[in-house]
């Protein structure tokens, strides 16, 4: 899952990026609203965390532009402003949730899970595909009733496949998802991780669509 973090405080942003990486989220960081708008034009994200106090004052414009375009991207506002009028204005403008600084990162992770669950019309934080279970809270994996130990990178990839069943994920998409994996950007990294997933789970779980990308069939 890719998250766009729009926050001008670099120290706070780095802390959020690190915490979300431990929870198997890949986070892109922008400092200004203008940068965020450019990022939204150039890539796909599953959720945005938006600080209101941006240097260029573009926070409100981001929300207005997204909703004017009927964009359904979940937006979690993160700000030091706790006035009720401000909260109401942001919620009316299209924000999906609102958190006040300072905050506990565990609550931030929980709210992210709720928003993504709502977006996917799920009621639980466990993704299931036949005998495969992926617990997004415990960061655990089971297959055929047995625990499967996955690396953080394998967990992140598998989660993306499970959230996009029957959809071909291009190599470019998976490479963009892998940005920030400890600098692991060698040309065969994606193939290695998918090979390992097939070996640990089932050789036919993830299909190769030659010349395009990879697919997790919706039917088991």
In the predicted model, is pLDDT for residue 198 greater than 90? Answer: yes
**DSSP output for 126-185:** EEEETTEEEETTTTEEEETTEE----HHHHHHHHHHHTTTT-PEEHHHHHHHTTTSTT--
CA-based torsion, 65, 25, 56, 76: positive or negative: positive
What architecture does CATH give domain 2-119?
Answer: 3-Layer(aba) Sandwich (3.40)
pLDDT at 153: 85
In terms of average pLDDT, the best of 43-47, 133-137, 173-177, 203-207 is: 203-207
Which residues share a beta bridge with 30? 6
Contact 193, 154 (CB under 8 A): yes
Res. 121: pLDDT tops 70:
no
Buried b (16+ CB within 10 A) or exposed e, 194-205: beebeebbeeeb
Contacts of residue 35, Cβ cutoff 8 Å, sequence gap at least 6: 6
DSSP code for 107: H
pLDDT at 141: 95
Residue with token string 């069939």: 217
Prediction pTM value: 0.64
Q: What is the pLDDT of residue 47?
A: 93
**Does 1.10.10.10 match the CATH number of domain 126-215?**
yes
Query: CB–CB of 175/190 below 8 Å?
Result: yes
* Number of other CB atoms surrounding residue 37 within 10 Å: 17
Q: Which tens digits make up the pLDDT trace of 40-87?
A: 888 889 899 999 888 887 777 788 878 777 677 899 998 888 888 888
Give the mean pLDDT of 76-103.
Answer: 87
Average pLDDT over the chain, rounded to whole?
86
Contact 77, 36 (CB under 8 A): no
Cis peptide before 147 (omega within 30 of 0): no
Please tell me the predicted confidence (pLDDT) of residue 216: 93
Residue 117 pLDDT level (bands cut at 50, 70, 90): confident
> Cβ(140)–Cβ(148) under 8 Å?
no
Residue 211 three-state SS: coil
In the chain, where the domains are located = 2-119, 126-215
What pLDDT was estimated at residue 70? Answer: 65
Residue-wise pLDDT tens digits, 143-161: 999 999 998 889 989 998 9
Angle formed at CA 52 by CA 47 and CA 54, multiple of 5 degrees: 105
Mean predicted confidence (pLDDT) in 1-11 = 91
């Amino acid at each position: 899952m890719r998250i766009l973090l729009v926050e001008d405080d670099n120290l706070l942003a780095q802390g959020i990026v690190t915490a979300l990486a431990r929870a198997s989220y890949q986070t892109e960081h922008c400092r200004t609203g203008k940068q965020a708008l450019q990022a939204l034009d150039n890539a796909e994200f599953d959720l945005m965390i938006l600080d209101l106090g941006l240097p260029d004052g573009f926070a409100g414009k981001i929300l207005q532009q997204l909703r004017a375009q009927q964009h359904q991207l979940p937006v979690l506002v993160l700000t030091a402003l706790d006035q009720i009028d401000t909260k109401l204005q942001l919620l009316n403008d299209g924000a999906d949730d609102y958190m006040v600084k300072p905050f506990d990162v565990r609550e931030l992770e929980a709210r992210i899970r709720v928003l993504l669950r709502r977006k996917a019309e799920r009621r639980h934080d466990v993704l299931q595909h036949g005998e495969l279970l992926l617990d997004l809270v415990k960061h655990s994996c089971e297959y055929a009733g047995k625990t499967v130990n996955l690396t953080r990178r394998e967990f992140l990839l598998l989660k993306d496949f499970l959230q996009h069943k029957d959809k071909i994920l291009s190599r470019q998409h998976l490479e963009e998802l892998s940005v920030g994996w400890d600098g692991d950007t060698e040309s065969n990294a994606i193939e290695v991780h998918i090979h390992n997933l097939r070996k640990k789970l089932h050789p036919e779980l993830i299909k190769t669509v030659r010349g395009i990308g990879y697919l997790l069939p919706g039917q088991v």
